[in-house]
Amino acid sequence: MWSETLFSNVPSLWEALEAQGLQHGWSQSLHDEESGLCSILSLARSHCPITALELYENLGFSMFMCRHLHTLIAQSLPKKMLKPSAPHLSPREIDVLELAAAGKTAEESARILNLSARTIHFHIQSSIDKLGVSNKIAAIIAALKAGYLSSTSIR
């Protein structure tokens, strides 16, 4: 929900809202994982603060509207914008992620690929960094979504 405190870092925005008579409102954000697009639906009015009960009663509808409007707007965008390009993974990074997806430990993967466990960890970390995720499981999922791995490689 909006408040003057919420806009304390951007007082000019709060002043612009007030100049238009908008002092009470809430914003609902949406991140579409499939397309990578984000949107925000803001609802505002000039009178009466929004109560917690009013927000609770209308939150479901506002989320429905946010999703519906987001979908309509996304359909009007050029298709090439919708899919962010997948980061480039090296063949070795893909091999290491496939083995991890199959449930292999770093030591097992090292024996299979004739590498050191440290090198396996290096390739896992490199994949994590390139895919912009925080751990090995998330890297496997991201690589699967990006088409680097097939679902048959998952144990």
| Predicted confidence (pLDDT) per residue in 29-63, tens digit | 898 887 778 899 988 998 888 998 998 998 899 88
Closest CA to 122 of 138, 109, 112: 109
Confidence at residue 136, expressed as pLDDT on a 0 to 100 scale: 95
CATH tag, 91-153: 1.10.10.10
Same fold, 11-81 and 91-153: no
pLDDT (tens digit, 9 = 90+) per residue, 84-112?
666 899 999 999 999 999 999 999 999 99
Residue 128 has pLDDT above 70, yes or no: yes
Q: Model pTM?
A: 0.48
Topology of the domain comprising 11-81? Beta-Lactamase (3.30.450)
For the range 118-124, what are the long-range contacts, defined as Cβ-Cβ under 8 Å and sequence gap of 24 or more? 120/96, 123/90, 123/92, 123/93, 123/95, 123/96, 124/96, 124/97, 124/100
Domain ranges of the chain: 11-81, 91-153
